[in-house]
């Protein structure tokens, strides 16, 4: 059975290719009511009056939620009213919710609601928020309930500060012969999943709350509904069908709360909330922005000595997951290098921008852009080859990470190997820049990346396995199928363990929190790692039970038996066997007596030896392993008008073990595409009042077909001992280095340091020509 | 049904080789009638204003964003949604080439590609690009979609030889 590594076609492929695949919004029950949101046009304003009288006059309006104070919500700090009360803090914030017989009526009613606002001073960037005497987005931060390990600072806009203090900075600077310092910034952008978020809620007569949601976190919805609204946790059931793209954006819990409140307002009738594209872009949480300052020093041989870093994350109006994102940015605040002296403050800043959700890479593509740009600036200053600078400092066994985890051959992948493979693929020795015509140059940019997870220390996963009477198996896991094919990869692992045909393994794609074992959240590229471990444990459980029963029937010991090929057989005499189908529901003797019974396998995994971080130094263990990569981009820049074409994008990533080659390639290339799109063109454009002027896919324009470069992906396989078959995480890692590599290539091509995103021709022109105005 | 100054209409649409009778508001888009009126949920909403291509259907052999067309405009036309395609080379090729992940944009892409190979069986790169840039895929790097459509075109060309 050689199934691991093979490009097995995902289990739900045919449904997806024929339109039969069901997503949340495909529930079209006639009995269902529809909710629409009225959203704020202001980034910061007091709500002085809400007049709903005209809206109520429309026939078919069943409820209007406005001006009511609901419990505060938020995952780290409970600072967010699910529907604004008294005040709005970002453009797009929900001010009222209308429940009606049809979406059209609800929308018309929303248009008739008159909200009177009194504008307040706007905090339009994290740097503005950081200034002394900046207007406060939240006045009484310390009055909010918060989780352990969150450190808001009173009378400031700082929702959380994570400190990294490693080594001796004074010593580091003394040893530094070359020092550079630079600033970086980019505004929030978005996930723009093709399926806009949707939640459906109903409340049964016994107060059971049933929610269906396009979510990465069905089990977290359940917990939060309990926390926020004090509903018995067992009375919250969450269903998640297939999810139409997530990228972190659907890990946040928002519409579910609104759907619940809306259902409650109509006596528990089923209510659907489906985001319009505009709402999905700005009302629901977005991709975080960042302002950064990095000072970096090394010896004249290029050995890094000290890094001093300030990250100001644009957490937006509410802290929610931004606290964790800023913390993750601190944990891996440098690239994958040996740096003995590090000082980093990563701040989660309140601003009057939409609040942040996780975004593929969870803070890592953001800090990598800033850090890896600084590496190139350092290399430029000392005239050292950028790849050599990185390989000189590549982190090795015996070194420590910024949070002082000791590196060994298992917990961190092989950075040096990734670098040397990249060097070859990108033809580094043929030169970094070449002239291709009178105006055009071709340039190469590279970077190195790493990422661990920073999820809850006790996060875990469970799997159950059952049999059908023909010996085929059912695989049930709490992982949400968001497009990553994780559940199909779990089926591959099961096929390997049971030595059986993968077509005889049936995978439950949907999650139902009542019957599906929990998977903490489908985030942080930990699906395969955590659910994989749970699956292997469940398979061992099944194998043990099969052997135990067969040992009794075959009159031998468990140890003499093997399981595979649909049989339990004697190891030294495979001709003596029992068919699994004849024992998986108990074994019946010829006279009718029966023994055994239905075999149900269970397995779980919980993270081991993960710690919180020390408040003063950041010391602590974030997760089980770091995936590392070396990435490169080749661009062709027209120096006459600063337009450019991305010719090639390259990733060499240490994946530990390839489990499904094409699925893994798809994850990496998809991440690269998203990273190039974020780096090259995606941003929200805020006017001076913090209003977003491009909340549509024609003005917020992701990469389209034909704009994609040639992708080259190679895998290094350094196993992580604790991973299933040695596999490391890979879902986010294609994305992480793309902004840095693109910026490095364009900086070289344009001959100027490009330290902002997105890298549109206008930015290159402005930076190169030193212009401060918008047009000639 | 909502709206005081427009009358609901009973129209007949030819969808996936079936005549379907459905009551619509004159303002209803083809997208909303396909989904909510006829229950054909394979056609996906993504933006409701023609930017993303997820709701693409085939109208008389031309891929049309069904959010930009009124249902009443569909009368007398032959409409094909993803549910009307079975075992087509494009569908098979998308599956084999891993040309989708979350699958949400897939019906629109497949309808578009299927119309493309009917109109341009030997489409060159520029034609493929011109047709497919109307749809957004957020999961793949587009490379897999490119390989999927090109392999169908190559297979067709080989058949002709």
Q: For A109-124, how does the pLDDT look when each residue is reduced to its tens digit (9 = 90+)?
A: 999 999 999 999 999 9
Preceding amide of A44 cis, omega within 30: no
- Predicted pLDDT at B3: 46
| Residue A23, min C-alpha distance to chain B (Å) | 8
In chain A, residues 694-723 whose CB comes closer than 8 Å to chain B: 696-698, 702-708, 711
Across A337-362, average pLDDT:
98
- Predicted pLDDT at A771: 81
Q: How far is CA A530 from CA A108, A458, A539, in A?
A: 46, 11, 14
Contacts of A22 in chain B (CB under 8 A): 41
For residue B28, pLDDT beyond 80 = yes
Nearest by CB to residue B136, choosing from A20, A485, A702, is: A702
Contacts of A104 in chain B (CB under 8 A): 2-3, 25
pLDDT category at A772 given cuts 50, 70, 90 is confident
| ipTM over 0.90 threshold | yes
For residue A647, pLDDT beyond 80 = yes
E-only strand ranges, A241-329? 271-274, 286-287, 289-298, 304-316
Alpha-carbon distance of B103 to A74, in angstroms, equals 31
pLDDT in tens, A499-545: 999 999 999 999 999 999 999 999 999 999 999 999 999 999 999 99
For residue A550, pLDDT beyond 90 = yes
pLDDT category at B75 given cuts 50, 70, 90 is very high
Across A23-46, average pLDDT:
98
pLDDT in tens, A433-456: 999 999 999 999 999 999 999 999
Single out the residue of A350, A283, A378, A288 nearest to residue A93, CA to CA: A283
For the CA atoms of B106, B111, B116, B118, the dihedral, rounded to the nearest 10 degrees, stands at 140
Across B8-12, average pLDDT:
96
Contacts of A664 in chain B (CB under 8 A): none
| Residue B158, min C-alpha distance to chain A (Å) | 25
- Predicted pLDDT at B4: 44
H-only helix segments in A314-409: 322-331, 364-382, 386-393
Contacts of A277 in chain B (CB under 8 A): 46-49, 51-52
Across A270-284, average pLDDT:
98
Tell me the HSE value of B115 on the side-chain side, using a 13 A CA sphere. Answer: 23
Q: How many CB atoms lie within 10 A of CB A179?
A: 15
In chain B, residues 57-116 whose CB comes closer than 8 Å to chain A: 81-83, 85-86, 91, 94-96, 98, 100-107, 110
Say if residues A568 and A551 touch (Cβ distance below 8 Å). Answer: no
Across A85-106, average pLDDT:
97
For residue A776, pLDDT beyond 60 = no
Instruction: Give the H or E element holding residue A596.
Output: strand A594-598
- Predicted pLDDT at A753: 98
- Predicted pLDDT at B1: 40
For residue A289, pLDDT beyond 70 = yes
pLDDT category at A775 given cuts 50, 70, 90 is low
Alpha-carbon distance of A190 to A211, in angstroms, equals 25
- Predicted pLDDT at B7: 84
pLDDT in tens, A572-627: 999 999 999 999 999 999 999 999 999 999 999 999 999 999 999 999 999 999 99
- Predicted pLDDT at A774: 60
- Contact: A670, B136; criterion CB under 8 Å: no
Q: How many CB atoms lie within 10 A of CB A68?
A: 14
Across A99-103, average pLDDT:
97
- A346 three-class SS: strand
- Contact: A195, B39; criterion CB under 8 Å: no
pLDDT category at A770 given cuts 50, 70, 90 is confident
Using N-to-C axis directions, what is the helix angle for A255-265 and A218-229, rounded to 10°? 50
In chain A, residues 467-486 whose CB comes closer than 8 Å to chain B: 482-485
For residue B5, pLDDT beyond 60 = no
- Contact: B47, A697; criterion CB under 8 Å: yes
- Contact: A703, B2; criterion CB under 8 Å: no
- Predicted pLDDT at B160: 75
pLDDT category at A53 given cuts 50, 70, 90 is very high
For residue B78, pLDDT beyond 70 = yes
For residue B157, pLDDT beyond 90 = no
For residue A335, pLDDT beyond 60 = yes
- Contact: B141, A669; criterion CB under 8 Å: yes
Domains contained in chain A, CATH given: 28-120+195-244+250-282 (3.90.1170.50), 286-455+610-769 (3.30.365.10), 459-606 (3.30.365.10)
- Predicted pLDDT at A1: 61
E-only strand ranges, chain B? 9-15, 18-24, 56-59, 62-65, 78-80
Single out the residue of A570, A534, A562, A526 nearest to residue A546, CA to CA: A562
Q: How many CB atoms lie within 10 A of CB A555?
A: 6
pLDDT in tens, A685-700: 999 999 999 999 999 9
Percent of chain A clearing pLDDT 90 (strictly above) = 99
pLDDT in tens, B46-67: 999 999 999 999 999 999 999 9
Domains contained in chain B, CATH given: 9-82 (3.10.20.30), 85-160 (1.10.150.120)
Say if residues A198 and A25 touch (Cβ distance below 8 Å). Answer: yes
B127 phi, psi to nearest 5 deg: -65, -45
- Contact: A277, B52; criterion CB under 8 Å: yes
The residue written with tokens 């919180």 in the block is A612
- Predicted pLDDT at A677: 98
pLDDT in tens, A653-692: 999 999 999 999 999 999 999 999 999 999 999 999 999 9
In chain A, residues 328-367 whose CB comes closer than 8 Å to chain B: none
pLDDT in tens, A457-479: 999 999 999 999 999 999 999 99
The residue written with tokens 């890979």 in the block is A730
In chain B, residues 39-68 whose CB comes closer than 8 Å to chain A: 39-49, 51-52, 54
- Contact: A244, B44; criterion CB under 8 Å: yes
Alpha-carbon distance of A641 to A484, in angstroms, equals 39
């Amino acid at each position: 059975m050689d199934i691991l590594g093979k490009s097995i076609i995902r289990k739900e492929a045919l449904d997806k290719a024929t339109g039969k695949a069901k997503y949340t919004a495909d529930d079209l029950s006639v009995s269902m009511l529809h909710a629409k949101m009225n959203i704020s046009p202001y980034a910061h304003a007091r709500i002085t009056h809400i007049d709903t009288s005209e809206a109520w006059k429309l026939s078919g309006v069943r409820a209007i939620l406005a001006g009511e104070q609901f419990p505060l919500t938020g995952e780290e700090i409970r600072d967010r009213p699910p529907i604004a009360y008294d005040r709005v803090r970002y453009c797009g914030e929900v001010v009222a919710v209308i429940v009606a017989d049809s979406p059209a009526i609800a929308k018309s009613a929303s248009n008739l609601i008159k909200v009177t606002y009194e504008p307040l001073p706007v905090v339009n960037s994290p740097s503005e928020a950081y200034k002394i005497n900046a207007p406060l987005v939240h006045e009484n931060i310390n009055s909010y309930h918060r989780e352990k390990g969150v450190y808001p600072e009173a009378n400031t806009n700082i929702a959380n500060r994570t400190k990294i203090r490693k080594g001796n900075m004074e010593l580091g600077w003394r040893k530094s012969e070359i020092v550079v310092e630079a600033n970086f910034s980019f505004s929030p952008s978005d996930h723009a999943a093709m399926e806009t978020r949707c939640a459906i809620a109903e409340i049964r007569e016994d107060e059971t709350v049933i929610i269906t949601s396009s979510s990465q976190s069905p089990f977290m919805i359940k917990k939060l509904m309990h926390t926020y609204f004090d509903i018995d946790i067992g009375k919250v059931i969450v269903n998640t069908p297939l999810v139409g793209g997530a990228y972190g954006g659907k890990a946040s819990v928002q519409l579910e709360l609104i759907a619940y409140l809306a259902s409650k307002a109509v006596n528990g009738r089923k209510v659907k909330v489906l985001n319009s594209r505009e709402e999905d872009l700005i009302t629901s949480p977005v991709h975080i922005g960042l302002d950064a300052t990095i000072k970096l020093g090394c010896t004249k041989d290029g050995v890094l000595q000290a890094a001093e870093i300030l990250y100001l994350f644009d957490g937006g109006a509410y802290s929610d997951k931004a606290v964790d994102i800023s913390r993750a940015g601190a944990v891996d605040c440098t690239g994958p290098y040996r740096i003995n002296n590090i000082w980093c403050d990563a701040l989660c800043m309140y601003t009057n921008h939409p609040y942040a959700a996780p975004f593929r890479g969870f803070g890592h593509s953001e800090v990598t852009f800033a850090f890896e740009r600084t590496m190139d600036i350092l290399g430029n200053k000392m005239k050292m080859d950028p790849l050599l600078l990185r390989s000189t400092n590549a982190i090795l066994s015996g070194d420590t990470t910024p949070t002082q985890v000791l590196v060994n051959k298992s917990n961190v992948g092989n950075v040096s190997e990734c670098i040397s493979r990249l060097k070859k693929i990108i033809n580094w020795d043929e030169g970094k820049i070449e002239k291709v015509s009178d105006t055009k140059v071709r340039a190469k940019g590279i970077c190195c990346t790493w990422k661990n997870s920073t999820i809850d220390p006790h996060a875990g996963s469970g799997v159950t396995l059952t049999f059908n009477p023909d010996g085929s198996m059912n695989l049930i896991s709490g992982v949400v199928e968001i497009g990553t094919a994780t559940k199909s990869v779990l089926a591959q692992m099961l096929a390997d363990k049971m030595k059986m045909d993968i077509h005889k393994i049936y995978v439950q794609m949907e999650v139902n929190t009542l019957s599906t074992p929990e998977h903490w959240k489908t985030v942080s590229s930990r699906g395969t790692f955590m659910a994989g471990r749970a699956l292997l444990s469940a398979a061992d459980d099944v194998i043990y039970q099969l052997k135990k029963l067969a040992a009794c029937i075959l009159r031998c010991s468990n140890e003499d038996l093997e399981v595979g090929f649909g049989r339990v057989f004697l190891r030294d005499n495979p001709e003596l066997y029992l068919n699994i189908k004849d024992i998986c529901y108990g074994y019946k003797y010829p006279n009718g007596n029966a023994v055994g019974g239905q075999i149900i396998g269970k397995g779980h995994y919980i993270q081991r030896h993960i710690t919180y971080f020390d408040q003063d130094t950041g010391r602590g263990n974030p997760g089980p392993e770091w995936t590392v990569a070396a990435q490169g981009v080749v661009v062709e820049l027209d120096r006459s008008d600063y337009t450019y074409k991305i010719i090639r994008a390259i990733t060499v990533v240490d994946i530990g073990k390839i489990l499904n080659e094409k699925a893994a390639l798809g994850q990496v290339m998809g991440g690269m595409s998203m990273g190039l799109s974020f780096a090259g063109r995606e941003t929200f454009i805020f006017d001076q009042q913090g209003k977003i002027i491009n909340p549509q896919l024609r003005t917020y324009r992701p990469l389209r077909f034909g704009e994609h470069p040639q992708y080259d992906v190679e895998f290094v396989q350094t196993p992580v001992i604790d991973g299933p078959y040695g596999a490391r995480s890979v879902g986010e890692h294609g994305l992480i280095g793309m902004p840095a590599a693109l910026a490095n290539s364009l900086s070289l091509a344009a001959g100027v340091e490009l330290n902002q995103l997105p890298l549109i021709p206008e930015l290159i022109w402005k930076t190169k020509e030193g212009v401060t105005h918008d047009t000639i | 049904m909502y709206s005081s100054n427009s009358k609901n209409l009973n129209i007949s649409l030819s969808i996936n080789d079936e005549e379907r009778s459905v009551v619509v508001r004159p303002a209803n888009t083809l997208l909303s009638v396909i989904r909510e009126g006829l229950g054909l949920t394979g056609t996906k909403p993504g933006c409701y204003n023609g930017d993303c291509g997820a709701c693409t259907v085939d109208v008389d052999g031309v891929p049309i964003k069904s959010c930009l067309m009124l249902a009443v405009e569909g009368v007398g036309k032959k409409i094909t949604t993803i549910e009307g395609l079975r075992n087509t080379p494009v569908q098979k090729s998308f599956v084999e080439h891993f040309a989708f992940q979350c699958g949400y944009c897939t019906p629109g892409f497949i309808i578009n590609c299927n119309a493309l190979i009917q109109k341009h069986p030997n489409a060159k790169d520029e034609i493929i690009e011109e047709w497919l840039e109307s749809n957004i895929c957020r999961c793949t790097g587009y490379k897999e979609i490119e390989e999927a459509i090109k392999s169908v075109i190559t297979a067709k060309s080989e058949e002709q030889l």
